[in-house]
Structure 1
Amino acid sequence: MVYFNNAATTYPKPAAVYEAMDEYYRNNAGSLGRGGKEMKSAGTLVADTRQLLKELLHTSLHEVIFTPTATLALNMIIQGLMKRPVKNVYITPFEHNAVTRVLHAYADKINLRILAVNKDCSFDLERIGYQFADCQPDLVIMSHASNVIGVITPVAEVFALAKKYEAITVVDMAQTAGLVDFDIAKAKCDFAVFAGHKTLYGPTGISGFLMNPDVELPTILYGGTGIDSANQDMPKDIPARYEMGTPNMVAIAGLHAALMKLKENNISSYYWQEQDNRKHLLDVLNNYDFVRLVGINNNLDYVGVVSFIIDGISSDSAGQLFSRLGVELRTGLHCAPLAHEFLGTYPAGTIRTSVGIYTNEEDLLRLNDSLYYIKSNL
């Protein structure tokens, strides 16, 4: 089986990630805030990992909060902000259900608007400026890169416009953290969400968000934090206020190893390796006239996610065929129905291929062989 589903989770991980997780589980028994000597070891690991994330995203202001998944992080942010006087909410047409389903739950409370995006997937900043002037934003949420077509969105430019109205800004970096060099402080991001198991090349079970501590985020989750246990209110300090329950220390160990590897190799090397693999992927797909690429604009920047449709075969049927041929990819709506409505691929969805830094020539040859087989049997 060759792997083209890196947008779901990157595979494989650096060897150091596997080694760090195994070493931590075998040699440490501590739980953060709930022990003696081992607690100190866990505390150092967590603090170091937070610092690495801050360095990666070029911030000293933001606080790092760990969650099990990016979906939970987005829920904590959005549902917490819904306790504030938030009315006018803007999103891109590329948002994941981790955003849109949460907002749908508050449909009777908010006025939801879609940022102006042209049919070629470019953002119309002039029209967005008019949108904001006509209906002043309270909250703007943007995926940094679409998980359907991989297009990188102009987060800094849009947030600069939003901040003229003192809007709260949230960027979903699930597809870009650790891959696209991005300064969340300069881009005026109040919240930046990351997924440890995607472009950071860490394990599942550890994600989170960085937050501007000057923005009041009411809590929606409660529980033990290992400190101030007599107080039935959540701690006021950040990150303790938002980190309840036992943290996934082995996953944090894996994420720490992944961040150290990234720091050693430099983020630009990851980006350009993935860009090179994306180019070779497009070369393979463009060899076949029955393949129709979706959402490609050569004037825009992309991560290594490419969606396409095969003439005469539904996406789901094609997915089953690729699976039988030993190619792991993803088909359907990819948890982003708004994106497919915008792209004209709803409700059938697309075939999504996504490369990573470890995609190699053998993988691409196997994909090419699969497409040749499909062409020969259409």
Structure 2
Amino acid sequence: SIDLDSFRKLCKEGVNYAVVSHVSNVTGALAPVREIAEIVHEKEGIFILDAAQSAGIIDIDMQQLGVDVIAAPGHKGLMGPMGVGILVLGQDIPVQPFREGGTGIKSKEDSQPDELPLRLEAGTANLPGIAGLLAGIRCIESLGVNTIAEHERKLARRLVDGLKMFDGVRLYCDPVGPQTGVVSFTLESMDGTLVGTILDQAFNIGVRTGLHCAPAAHKTIGTFPAGTVRVSFGYYNRYNHVERLICSLHDLAG
């Protein structure tokens, strides 16, 4: 997890914006969001929460946590398609468009409209993507965020319990137990990329191997440059999927 003392030192000289991942996409660890927000606000900074791994899976109360902005893609926990995402702004958060033009309204003016969200909506909106994201959010609302979160945690805990029975397996997650549906591990006897390839081709099981677009995180946990094998459970995974994975890894580790 994030070392708050180290984070406080980074902010010592002041901070304009701080962007922090709510959940690590490598280890599944939860960041101490409220404590981080307090440190950022002490320096009069704006706290942006990267909810790529948590939106739709963990209940996020911006006011309670002290979050000023939430950013998240639509294609992960929100169950939407690729190419769409969300940006949730707190009150009085300054934001400017990175491109302008083609608003479809107020065409007599030379610049973007002042009001939100029109100020940020240049060009043709990705309406199919937005519709797909809406469908995903409605599905989450019908299931319940807490139901989804607990289901994914149970699957992750079962996998961790199974992997602890193997020799030569090293786990990279909360020692008390997975906080989310993400589990990373390595096998002493086999390169992680090869593990992923065999699971895919021989057992029809999809995992992610390597550095997961987070080389700094892997340097921190000591898995750079080889990375880890990462399993990411979703709501539609079932216990028999976990058992198949454990049996497959038993064959590889043995």
Query: What TM-score do the two structures reach when normalised by structure 1?
Result: 0.63
Residue 355 (structure 1) aligned with residue 230 (structure 2): no
Q: CA deviation at 1:126?
A: 4.4
1:136 corresponds in structure 2 to: 14
SS of corresponding position for 2:103: coil
1:111-260 matches, cutoff 5 A: 121=1, 123-132=2-11, 134-260=12-138
1:304 corresponds in structure 2 to: 181
Distance 1:284 1:354 in 2: 16
- Structure 1 unmatched runs, 5+: 1-120
Residue 289 (structure 1) aligned with residue 167 (structure 2): yes
Which of residues 289, 296, 317 in structure 1 aligns to 2:194?
317
Higher relative contact order (CA 8 A, sep 6+): 1
Q: 1:336 to 1:127 in 2, by over 3 A?
A: closer
Which structure 1 residue ranges, 4+ long, deviate > 4 Å from structure 2? Answer: none
Q: CA deviation at 1:310?
A: 0.8
8 Å CA contact 1:145–1:302 kept in 2: the answer is no
8 Å CA contact 2:159–2:246 kept in 1: the answer is no
SS of corresponding position for 1:351: strand
Distance 1:127 1:256 in 2: 39
Which of residues 271, 280, 287 in structure 1 aligns to 2:158?
280
Distance 1:130 1:341 in 2: 20
Q: How many residue pairs are counted as aligned between the two chains?
A: 253
Distance 2:180 2:161 in 1: 16
Q: CA deviation at 1:375?
A: 2.8
Supply the AA of the counterpart residue of 1:125. L
8 Å CA contact 1:223–1:244 kept in 2: the answer is yes
Query: What TM-score do the two structures reach when normalised by structure 2?
Result: 0.92
Identity within the alignment, %: 34
2:214 corresponds in structure 1 to: 336
Q: CA deviation at 1:127?
A: 4.8
RMSD (Å), alpha carbons? 1.8
